[in-house]
Amino acid sequence: MSAVATAEPPVAPRGLARSAGRLFEPSGSTLEDRILGAWEDLDERGRAECPVCRGELEVAGCRSCGSELS
């Protein structure tokens, strides 16, 4: 296999062209929103949805993935 240098940039395959703007469009909530919401739920109810795996997060940590908020 050999390589050839060209003056023109390669063309992206059809349907994979990227715009010059953002890499992705943000959804309605940010990671910060999810973490703060989990903290509030833990404070009020003692459990929350885990922001990592969406399992059950308790004050001691998540039973499903082992993550903790500290």
Q: Which two tokens stand for residue 5?
A: 């240098």
Q: In what order do the strands lie in the sheet with 61-62?
A: 47-49, 56-58, 61-62
What pTM, to 2 d.p., does this model score?
A: 0.56
The backbone torsions φ and ψ at residue 14, rounded to the nearest 5 degrees and listed phi first, read -55, 135
Identify the pLDDT of residue 43: 93
Identify the pLDDT of residue 66: 93
Rounded Cα gap, residues 24 and 34, in angstroms: 19
Domain ranges of the chain: 31-62
pLDDT averages per 10-residue partition of the chain, 70 residues = 56 58 70 91 94 91 90
DSSP state of 4: -
Please, what sign has the CA dihedral across residues 53, 59, 61, 63?
negative
Identify the pLDDT of residue 29: 81
Identify the pLDDT of residue 55: 93
Identify the pLDDT of residue 69: 84
